[in-house]
Amino acid sequence: MIRKEGKILIVDDNKELLLAFKRYFAKWFTDIKTVSNPNLLISTIQQEWFDIILLDMNFSAGINSGNEGFYWLNRVLEHDADATVVLITAYADIDLAIRAMKEGATDFVSKTWDEEKILQTVLSAYRQRQTKQELSRVKQQTQQLQVEQSVSGMVIGQSAAMRGVLSTIAKVAPTDASVLLLGENGTGKEVLAQEIHRLSLRAKGLFVSVDLGALPDTLFESEMFGYTKGAFTDAKDDKMGRMEVASGGTLFLDELGNMPLTQQSKLLAAVQNGEVTRLGSVKPRPTDVRIVSATNMPLYQMVDDGRFRRDLLYRLNTIQIEIPPLRDRRDDIPALATHFLNRFAQKYQKSGLTFAQSGMEKLMAFSWPGNIRELQHVVEKAVILCDGSSITQSDISLHPTSTQPTATTLNLEENERQLVANAIDKCKGNMSEAARQLGINRTTLYQKIKRYGL
C-alpha cells in the first residue's frame, strides 16, 4: 500500500496536462494544486507551503528558449531559497538541463510522458527535500543548544586541575585531531566536548552527540550510517545517519566503553575510510567528521581483556584528556554551585536567592561521588525547598557517599579520613558542630578536609 504524503504545486499552461498530472500524482501525494497562469505562482506560494514545485519552462506559444521558466524559477527562489523546483519542458536539451541545475533547480524532466521517469524524478526531489529539512532541523536545534550553552557558561573551572584541562583543550581544539575524554560519570565530559567544538575550525558545523551505551546493536548501523527507503519494514523514506549529519562538524561518541565488539568493527571501518554506506544501499557516502569520544571505562584494561579493539582505541585517542572528579577540584564548587543556583532561581522564579555561609560550607565539605551532575541535582532541589532568601545547610539534602572506606583497615590516616567524613555527614555539614564533636577547631577541620580530599 502506497503511503501518501507531501504537497506538490504544478504550474503549466496546458490544462489537459495539469489534469493528467493531478490524476497521476494523486496516489502519491496528499495535496496537489495546479496553476495554469504563471502570474499566479508567487501569490500561490505566499499563501501556501509546498514540498515540490513542478514548473513548466515555456508558457508563450512558439517560444521554447526556456527563459520564462528561468524567470519564474528565480522568482520562486527569491521567495524561498530552499524551495524544491523541478523544471519541465517539451524539449529534451542537455544544455538547458545543465543551466537549470546551475540556477537552482533540483531536477529537470521532459514532457515525454514517461510516467515512471517523471514519477521517480519527482519522488527523488521530494526525498531530497525531506533530507534538507531534517538536516535544517538538526542544525537549528544544535545551534540553539550551542547558544544556550554559550549563555549559560557551563565550562566553569579555575582550579589548578581544571586549568590544565582547559589549557590542553585550547591547544587541541583548532586541530582536527581525535580526542578521548576520560573521567567519572558526571564530570562534564559532554560539556567539554562541546567546548572543543566551539573553539574548533568546525564551530559553524553541527555538534552531533551519540550515546553509544543506549544504542542497541540492532539499531547501530541505521542510526550511525542511515538507511534507504525499503531497507527494512519501517524504512518509509531515506534517512541520514549521525555520521552523515555531523559531516563538516563534530561527532561526539559518549559511553564509548560500552560498545560491543561488533559495533566497534563497523565504527572503525567508517572512521578509517571516511565514508558510510546506508543500510539498503551499496553506494558509499563520504563523511568529514572530527570525533571526540568519552568514557568512564578502563579502555586499556579492556583492550588487554579483549573487550575493546586496540586499533579503534589508537584511532580515537590521538589526544587523551583526563577530567578530574569534583572532589579533586573543590575550588570550583562555589562557582559551579552559584551558576546552578542562578539558573534554577530563574527557572523557579526565586530571584535574589543566595547561599548562606553554612550552605556553601556543606557543599564544600561533601565528596560528591556523582560529581557535577550530582551537585546540579542537589542545588536544584535546594532551590525548590528553600523558603527563605538564602540557602542554608538545612535546605541541602545529601546522600551519604558510598565511596568512603569502611573501618576495617588499621591504617591511621584511612580511619581518620572516615571519622572526619562521618562527623561531617552526621552534623549535616555544620562545620562548627563537626569540629566540636571531633574535639578540634574549625581551622584544623578544614585542613583535614583539604588533606583527605573530602
Helix axes 189-198, 115-152, angle to 10 degrees: 110
Q: How many CB atoms lie within 10 A of CB 419?
A: 14
| Together in a domain, 157 and 241 | yes
At 207, which helix (H) or strand (E)?
Answer: strand 207-211
| Together in a domain, 183 and 289 | yes
| Together in a domain, 398 and 339 | yes
Q: Is the pLDDT of residue 149 over 50?
A: no
Euclidean distance between CA atoms 73 and 85, whole angstroms: 7
Picking from 263, 291, 322, the residue at the C-terminal end of a domain is: 322
Q: Which long-range contacts (CB under 8 A, 24 or more apart) does 143-152 make?
A: 145/207, 146/194, 146/198, 146/207, 149/191, 149/194, 149/198, 150/198, 152/339, 152/343
Instruction: Please tell me the total count of domains within the chain.
Output: 3
Q: What is the mean pLDDT of the chain?
A: 85
Mean pLDDT of 307-319: 96
Mean pLDDT of 295-302: 92
Percent of the chain with pLDDT over 90: 46
Considering only residues 110 and 260, tell me which one the structure prediction assigns the higher pLDDT. 260
Considering only residues 130 and 152, tell me which one the structure prediction assigns the higher pLDDT. 130
Q: Which of 97, 57, 96 is nearest to 76 (CA)?
A: 57
257 contacts 297 by C-beta, under 8 angstroms? yes
Q: Within a domain: residue 141?
A: no
394 by Cβ neighbours in 10 Å (0-12 / 13-18 / 19+) ranks as middle
36 contacts 15 by C-beta, under 8 angstroms? yes
Mean pLDDT of 3-29: 85
Cell numbers for 303, please give them: 583492550
Looking up residue 413, the CATH number of its domain turns out to be 1.10.8.60
Length of the chain: 454
Q: Which of 376, 366, 371, 361 is nearest to 425 (CA)?
A: 366
If pLDDT is split at 50, 70 and 90, which confidence band does 302 have?
Answer: very high
Q: Within a domain: residue 414?
A: yes
Q: Within a domain: residue 2?
A: no
Task: Tell me which amino acid residue 275 is.
Answer: E
Mean pLDDT of 201-226: 89
Euclidean distance between CA atoms 64 and 199, whole angstroms: 53
pLDDT of residue 453: 58
Euclidean distance between CA atoms 115 and 139, whole angstroms: 36
If pLDDT is split at 50, 70 and 90, which confidence band does 111 have?
Answer: confident
213 contacts 260 by C-beta, under 8 angstroms? no
**Percent of the chain that is helix, strand, coil (3-state, to 5):** 50, 15, 35
Q: Which of 1-5, 59-63, 73-77, 410-414 shows the lowest mean pLDDT across its residues?
A: 1-5
Percent of the chain with pLDDT over 70: 86
| Together in a domain, 114 and 182 | no
Q: Which of 29-43, 123-137, 399-413 shows the lowest mean pLDDT across its residues?
A: 399-413
Q: Which of 71, 77, 23 is nearest to 45 (CA)?
A: 77
| Together in a domain, 192 and 255 | yes
Looking up residue 201, the CATH number of its domain turns out to be 3.40.50.300
| Together in a domain, 300 and 363 | no
Q: Within a domain: residue 148?
A: no
Q: Is the pLDDT of residue 125 over 60?
A: yes
If pLDDT is split at 50, 70 and 90, which confidence band does 402 have?
Answer: very low
Q: Within a domain: residue 147?
A: no
Q: Is the pLDDT of residue 368 over 60?
A: yes
Euclidean distance between CA atoms 202 and 289, whole angstroms: 9
Q: Is the pLDDT of residue 28 over 80?
A: yes
Q: Within a domain: residue 58?
A: yes
Q: Within a domain: residue 105?
A: yes
Q: Within a domain: residue 145?
A: no
Q: Is the pLDDT of residue 268 over 80?
A: yes
Mean pLDDT of 255-280: 93
Euclidean distance between CA atoms 353 and 290, whole angstroms: 41
pLDDT of residue 148: 46
| Together in a domain, 307 and 390 | no
Cell numbers for 270, please give them: 567508517
Cell numbers for 410, please give them: 588499621
| Together in a domain, 16 and 160 | no
Cell numbers for 421, please give them: 567524613
Q: Is the pLDDT of residue 145 over 70?
A: no
Looking up residue 113, the CATH number of its domain turns out to be 3.40.50.2300
Distance from CA of residue 117 to its chain's centroid? Answer: 38
121 contacts 86 by C-beta, under 8 angstroms? yes
- How many contiguous H segments (helices) and E segments (strands) does the chain have? 18, 16
Condensed to tens digits (0 to 9), the pLDDT of residues 55-100 reads 988 776 656 667 888 889 989 988 888 889 998 876 666 677 778 7
| Together in a domain, 179 and 288 | yes
Q: Is the pLDDT of residue 420 over 90?
A: no
Using the Cα atoms of residue 206, residue 211, residue 215 and residue 221 in order, give the sign of their dihedral: positive
| Together in a domain, 350 and 374 | yes
Mean pLDDT of 401-420: 60
Euclidean distance between CA atoms 172 and 153, whole angstroms: 20
| Together in a domain, 184 and 314 | yes
Picking from 322, 346, 378, the residue at the C-terminal end of a domain is: 322
Got the DSSP string for 29-43?
A: -SEEEEES-GGGHHH
Condensed to tens digits (0 to 9), the pLDDT of residues 421-436 reads 788 777 766 676 778 8
| 203: containing domain | 153-322
Picking from 301, 322, 343, the residue at the C-terminal end of a domain is: 322
Got the DSSP string for 111-150?
A: SS--HHHHHHHHHHHHHHHHHHHHHHHHHHHHHHHHHHHH
Cell numbers for 185, please give them: 560519570
| Together in a domain, 118 and 41 | yes
Condensed to tens digits (0 to 9), the pLDDT of residues 169-204 reads 999 999 999 999 999 989 999 999 999 999 999 998
Q: Is the pLDDT of residue 143 over 70?
A: no
Euclidean distance between CA atoms 100 and 97, whole angstroms: 5
Euclidean distance between CA atoms 422 and 316, whole angstroms: 42
126 contacts 187 by C-beta, under 8 angstroms? no
Considering only residues 412 and 439, tell me which one the structure prediction assigns the higher pLDDT. 439
